[in-house]
Amino acid sequence: MISRLGLQRSSLTDFPGVLACVLFTVGCDFRCPWCHNPELVEPGAGDPGLVPVGEALGFLDERKRVLSGAVLSGGEPCLHPDLPRLADAVRRRGLKVKLDTNGSFPDALAEVRADYVAIDVKARAADYPRLAPLVPDAAARVARSLAWLRSSGAPFEVRVTAAPGFVDPDTAASLADFLEAGDEVVLQRFRPLRTLDPAWRSVEPHGDAALAEILAALKARSPKARHRGG
């Protein structure tokens, strides 16, 4: 049961073309060491600054004439069986719904009925057990989510974070096995800011040359792949 949420009051960058707020749910089935929201993933990792769901929905009531959408993010929002109810509550206020997901809950996608989905592909299939030791079929679940999104007709983007040791020039072609030609793929640089594993705060991000090699490998499979950010 979702009882409390993190709330970012507005964002121009999280939902393409939409002024949106961001609602963060707590908890995740993955343990990506570079995760930038450790306070939402690991109990005791910091104060996530949550508010009661009623307060978050009250904020939507106040701001629904200014905002055009809400992003459901986390953590992993699809971990919560009542996420579709939260999505419905957003829609009832006339707002569009965007979902951020790690892709490990393919059956939830149809229930949430998001207007836009950002789904992560985090590594080649062989490396998913290192990211999600408690989800033995994580890679297969991500592949099922991608297949559902392609068949649904809903707009979506595939996010790839160039996390060293998981997304590298020599493994990017294998990671691209998850992709298809029509996919909108966005490659973003790993940034050693707040990370779930403190050791990752000193991990050196890939340089421009390595990033270009990774992007080329993704483009070989998905020609629309592009780099976002610096």
Smallest separation, CB 27 to ligand SF4 (Å): 9
Smallest separation, CB 155 to ligand SF4 (Å): 21
Q: Is 37 near ligand SF4 (CB under 6 A)? A: yes
Exposure string of 4-42, with b = 16+ CB inside 10 Å and e = fewer, is bbbbeeebeebbeebebbbbbbbebbbbbbbbebbbbbe
Q: Are 98 and 14 in contact (CB under 8 A)?
A: yes
Q: Which two tokens stand for residue 219?
A: 């483009």
Smallest separation, CB 181 to ligand SF4 (Å): 26
Task: Find out whether the peptide bond into 153 is cis, omega within 30 degrees of 0.
Answer: no
Which of residues 48, 74, 77, 106 is near ligand SF4 by CB under 6 A?
Answer: 74
Q: Is 48 near ligand SF4 (CB under 6 A)? A: no
CA atoms within 13 A on the CB side of 25: 25
Q: Is 160 near ligand SF4 (CB under 6 A)? A: no
Stretch that binds ligand SF4, among 68-76, 90-98, 107-115, 148-156 (CB under 6 A): 68-76
Distance, first Cα to last Cα, the chain: 38
Q: Is 106 near ligand SF4 (CB under 6 A)? A: no
Q: Which residues bind ligand SF4 (CB under 6 A)?
A: 28, 30-32, 35, 37, 41, 74-76, 102
